[in-house]
Amino acid sequence: MAGRIGSRAASVGIALVGTGFMGRAHANAWRQAPCFFDLARRPQLAVVAGRRGPVTRAFAQRWQVARSLTDWTAAVRDPAVHLVDVLTPNHLHAPVAVAALRAGKHVACEKPLAGTLDDARVMRDAAGKAKGRTFVWFNYRRCPAVGLMRQLVHEGRLGEIRQVRARYLQDWGGAATPMAWRFDAKLAGSGAHGDLNAHLVDLVRFTTGLEIDEVCGAIEATFVGRRRSARGRQASTVDDAMLFLARLANGATASFEASRVATGNQNANGVELNGTKGSVRFDFERMNELEWWDHTLPARLRGWSRIMCTDASHPWVGAYWPAAHLIGYEHGFISMAADIVRVITGQKPLLPLPDFQDAFRTQCVLEAATRSARTGGWVRPDSLA
């Protein structure tokens, strides 16, 4: 069967399930990856599945996808497909991913792994039994500055990590933004929390290499309770902001803040790590830069230095442009698509990629924060696994 994992096909057939924001980001990434990276097999956009025929057909034409369908179950079974890319609202991640794994495909799924911990557990368990590899699109891991941050920590340049400050701030325009799946807890699971804190928890775990042992002090808030839609006004049932505190495995303290009501912030995804030998900080709104404080320097020379992470020696950058010819949002997805192809062709990714098992740990932290917000107590993510 051409689409099975063991296939010796020269290309990797991709099924995109979803044609929205991420549909575009991923179609672009799969197409661009072999243009920038030397890959053993070339990704081919074999199928796209969407909800509405005309929209899905137009998407297929624009992004040069061979076939368009309105039934994702057919996409998952298609023998030309080796990898199913799940780009739907969160409630569909589990059914699509599990069906794809059972059909013998590799699966790359958008974050959060799922809207609920129960769905995430089903996905983790299915991945454990499957032949296919799994991946979760925590794309910010593929920012060169974030890769450098991880390298500095792992080289010991920050010493012992003592404090972590993570915040992902957006401004969604309050009640002016109409109803969408993202505001419906049945479809999304949660609001800013699953959407934005998922990235932060992953970034902290990835850059520090430390698990989150305990969570407390969580607070969630919904400021816009109803939103206009074609069917009149509908209840918005998710959080608009969610903050929590945590202790990492080495005893370091951490704070997390996710918001869709942080007026003036558009995509301020930022992490700061403070260690005994130095600190680093990153903000996606200046994604080509990493700030570094080297505390091993004499006091009179200490100061924040701004590293332009555009040198060929920075992770993934050598595949793109000369120094200081900046890269953008889409490059994280392109680099990740390339690393996924590397893994399924038996090579190593440049830096670790998250799989379902890894993303499940992040999901346990998110759930621990939700429980802390509702009970006011301490929750250990491990106890939920």
Ligand X SMILES: NC(=O)c1ccc[n+]([C@@H]2O[C@H](COP(=O)([O-])OP(=O)(O)OC[C@H]3O[C@@H](n4cnc5c(N)ncnc54)[C@H](O)[C@@H]3O)[C@@H](O)[C@H]2O)c1
Shortest reach from residue 156's CB to ligand X, in Å? 30
Binding mask 15-34 for ligand X (x = CB under 6 A): --xxxxxxx-----------
SS3 for 211-248 is CEEEEEEEEEECCCCEEEECCEEEECCCCCEEEEEEEE
Give whichever of 13 and 50 is closer to ligand X, judged by the CB atom. Answer: 50
Q: Is 12 helix (H, G, I), strand (E, B) or coil?
A: strand
Give whichever of 72 and 316 is closer to ligand X, judged by the CB atom. Answer: 72
Should residue 89 be labelled a site residue for ligand X when binding is judged by CB under 6 A? yes
Interacting span for ligand X (CB under 6 A) from 81-89, 166-174, 214-222, 308-316: 81-89
Shortest reach from residue 254's CB to ligand X, in Å? 21
CA dist., res. 99 & res. 122, Å (int): 11
Give whichever of 9 and 74 is closer to ligand X, judged by the CB atom. Answer: 74
| Residues numbered 127-186 forming contacts with ligand X, rule: CB under 6 A | 137, 139
Should residue 72 be labelled a site residue for ligand X when binding is judged by CB under 6 A? yes
For β-strands 268-275 and 161-169, DSSP reports them as antiparallel
The two three-digit tokens of residue 21, written as one number = 């924001």
Should residue 84 be labelled a site residue for ligand X when binding is judged by CB under 6 A? no
Nearest to 359 by CA among 115, 95, 16, 192: 115
Should residue 197 be labelled a site residue for ligand X when binding is judged by CB under 6 A? no
Q: Looking at 39, 49, 248, 319, which residue binds ligand X (CB under 6 A)?
A: 49
CA dist., res. 193 & res. 200, Å (int): 10
* Nearest position to ligand X, beta carbon: 20
Give whichever of 154 and 228 is closer to ligand X, judged by the CB atom. Answer: 228
CA 125 to chain centre: 20
CA dist., res. 245 & res. 254, Å (int): 6
Give whichever of 70 and 253 is closer to ligand X, judged by the CB atom. Answer: 70
Please return the burial class of 376, using the count of CB atoms within 10 Å of its CB with bins 0-12, 13-18 and 19+.
Answer: exposed
For β-strands 134-136 and 268-275, DSSP reports them as unpaired
Binding mask 98-117 for ligand X (x = CB under 6 A): ------------xx------
Largest CA distance in the chain: 67
Give whichever of 126 and 188 is closer to ligand X, judged by the CB atom. Answer: 188
Whether residue 171 contacts residue 260, with contact meaning beta carbons closer than 8 Å, is answered with: yes
Please return the burial class of 289, using the count of CB atoms within 10 Å of its CB with bins 0-12, 13-18 and 19+.
Answer: middle
Q: How many chain residues are in contact with ligand X, going by CB under 6 A?
A: 21
Shortest reach from residue 365's CB to ligand X, in Å? 16
Shortest reach from residue 258's CB to ligand X, in Å? 13
Give whichever of 21 and 304 is closer to ligand X, judged by the CB atom. Answer: 21
Give whichever of 87 and 243 is closer to ligand X, judged by the CB atom. Answer: 87
Whether residue 39 contacts residue 340, with contact meaning beta carbons closer than 8 Å, is answered with: no
For ligand X, the binding residues (CB under 6 A) are: 17-23, 49-51, 72, 87-90, 92, 110-111, 137, 139, 195
